[in-house]
Structure formats: structure tokens, C-alpha cells
A and B are shown apart, each in its own frame.
Chain A
Amino acid sequence: MVTMVRIKRLIQTLPLVLLLAACASGPGYDTRQVSLATTPRSAVDELEAVRGQKVLWGGVILNTSNMASVTRLEILAYPLDGQQLPQRDREPLGRFLLEYQGFLEPATYAEGRLITTVGTVANSARGQVGELDYTYPVIEASELHLWPRDSDYTTPSNVHFGIGIGIGL
């Protein structure tokens, strides 16, 4: 009898487990070792204090450059939501450079794509945005998650609702 009740319970909870598993679509990076307060802007201001720290950042790719053994992405950071997806409707948190050991396909890691990454703050680099001298924090990426094209909120949904009138003859 006891085993019957257990099996029944298992059967009852199984759909719930499956539903929850279907909802978790983000990378789900472990945030316990990550300093969540550090943003790209604050990292530049206090580089010596945050160098070597692990960060979880995400944003929109602005530029991809392939070096001989490293790929460097320029990213405009945005706050992340509960799924670690960059929220493009919020205020940006500044730019950063991501360095990845190896080749990343520039046609896939393309301008406009959303990315979430875990990396270590390594140093800073100077660049130009228009005529302005811009100081970027540079992180060495250990984890990358490129979001599917339709995860951006600006993409119109393919599901439409309409009202129709029909005549039966």
C-alpha cells in the first residue's frame, strides 16, 4: 500500500517537474562566485580592486574581431533579468571587451546579437567611440551564452490575434 501511494505521488509530481524543466531556458550560470555589484563602468573606475574578480555580464554585441588565437567582442552591457538575459529596455551599464581563447564565428557572434558571459576582470583597454577616448574593462571569458535571435524583446511575435466575421450559407 505504501509503495502504491509513493508511485501515485510520483506520477502526480512528474508533470510539474517537466513543466519547470521546460521553463528554464537561460544559461543558469552559478552566481555564488560572482561579484554581482561590479558593472563595466564601476570596473573601470576601480580596476585595481576588481582585477581577478569573476563577473556575470551580458549585453548586445557591437563588434567582433578575430585575432590570431583570440576573439575579441565589444559589448554594450545591460542589466540581466532572472534568466540572465540582457534587458535592452533598461539603462545600459557601459561597454566592455570580452576576450575568448579561440575562434568565434563572426557571422554567428554578430553585431546586434545578445550574449551573457561569465569571465574574469583582466585589465582595461583604451579605444575610441566616435572621437571620444573610451576606457573599456577587459574580461577573459570562461562561459559564453549566445541568445537565440528571437529572445530579444524588439522582435515582433509571430503570434497574432485578430477578430473575424464569418457568414454561413
Chain B
Amino acid sequence: MKICFRPLYLLCGLLVSACSSQVPVNIREAPADSPMINTVRENPSSFLSREVRWGGEILEIVNREDVTELSILARPLTNKGEPRATDNSPGRFITHIPAFLDPEEYTAGRKITLRGTLVEAQTRKVGDYAYAYPVLQATDWYLWPKPIPPSTRDWRYYDPWWYYDPWWYYPWYHYPRHPHPGHHGHHGPH
């Protein structure tokens, strides 16, 4: 009897996977009891080799010979793993990524979420303050897309009726390039 249902399960599985986002599952889903960064900073040695999913805003990127090192200002994450736009930061951390990340792409201010295990903490100076950074050895990471500034968004987003406009695809109907619209209805290139 059970066998009869298998194709149905398969179909459901395909449907569900077709709907899912491009964010990797290890980023979308947190490991069980992933500790908070401020808890780890208080007592880093007791969290060694624990698996965490953390994310935030890139502060600095350093390309070393076989790893890329990022220092990150952590943010609370949404339930999909995306760093929230808030000032409530639980602190900084360092992450080692076993790959080359281009510093032109992974720039300061970009949002990133990572998953991996905690290795030994490092103390570094922020100004003259000795800051204890937890270090995350990353296995998965995801750079979140840049937010699109409203001014550069497509004009269609400002036009609530674009869907009902049969000429929405032809931008010269909306922004006539010809300075004299009275000339026999000669609209744009043909």
C-alpha cells in the first residue's frame, strides 16, 4: 500500500523544492541551539567546535593566502537568516572562509550570513580597546543582494497601473524623447 503513494510524495517534493528560494538551506535554517554571539563572547572557550549560524554587516575583508578573513558586525537574523536593519548588534566576530572572496564584491556594509563551527577566539584592538572576537570557521555563506535604492528602481514600480497598461513595455510612451509631441503623433522609433 505504501508503495502506491510514492509518486505522489515525489511530486509534492518537486513542487516544494521548486518554490524554495536560492538561499542555501544551511543559511535559511539555523542549527539546533545555535548560541547567541554575546553569550559566546562572555565565555568563548566553552563554545569551541559548536555549530552556529551568524550574520551581519561586513566591517573589513582581508584576503590571505588560502582563506578570506572577514570581520563582521553581527545583527539579529530574521527567521530566514537575513540580518535585520537595526542598531541592536550583539557584537563583532571574525570568520575564516576557505575560499577567495573578491574584496570588490564583499565590501564593507554588505550583509552576509554564515554557518560553521567556532574555533579559538582572538583578541584584537578596536582603537585601544581589547576586543574579544569569536572566530567562526565557515562552511556555508551567503552574501545578501544589495538593496535597490528607490531612485534607481524601474519606473514600473512607481506606476501602480502598469499591468493594465498595454504599452507598459514601450518606455517612450511614458517618457517621450521628442520635445514636440504635437508632430503628427510621431512617437519614438519605429
Contact = CB atoms under 8 A, between A and B. Distances in A.
A164 B159 contact: yes
B87 A146 contact: yes
B129 A169 contact: no
B171 to A, nearest CB: 15
Interface in B74-113: 87, 89, 91-92
A103 interface: yes
B150 A66 contact: no
A66 B128 CA distance: 6
Nearest to B159: A164
B5 interface: no
B129 A67 contact: yes
A129 interface: no
A68 to B, nearest CB: 5
B127 A67 contact: yes
B128 A166 contact: no
A146 B159 CA distance: 36
Indicate the member of B89, B127, B128, B150 with the most A CB atoms within 10 Å: B127
Interface stretch (B7-15, B160-168, B177-185): B160-168
Interface stretch (A4-12, A39-47, A105-113): A105-113
Contacts, number: 44
Nearest to B59: A107
B89 A105 contact: yes
A108 B166 contact: no
- Chain A interface mostly helix, strand, loop or mixed? loop
B126 A106 contact: yes
Contacts of B47: none
Nearest to B129: A66
Nearest to B88: A108
A169 B89 contact: no
B23 interface: no
Nearest to A108: B87
Contact of A68 (B59, B87, B130, B150): B130
B57 A107 contact: yes
Given A166-B161, A169-B166, 10 more contacts: A66-B128, A67-B129, A68-B130, A69-B129, A105-B73, A105-B91, A160-B150, A162-B158, A164-B159, A164-B160
25 contacts: A66-B128, A67-B128, A69-B129, A71-B129, A103-B126, A103-B129, A103-B131, A105-B73, A105-B89, A105-B92, A107-B73, A107-B89, A108-B73, A108-B87, A108-B89, A148-B87, A160-B150, A164-B159, A164-B160, A164-B161, A166-B161, A166-B164, A166-B165, A167-B165, A168-B164
Interface of B: 57, 59, 73, 87, 89, 91-92, 126-131, 150, 158-161, 164-166
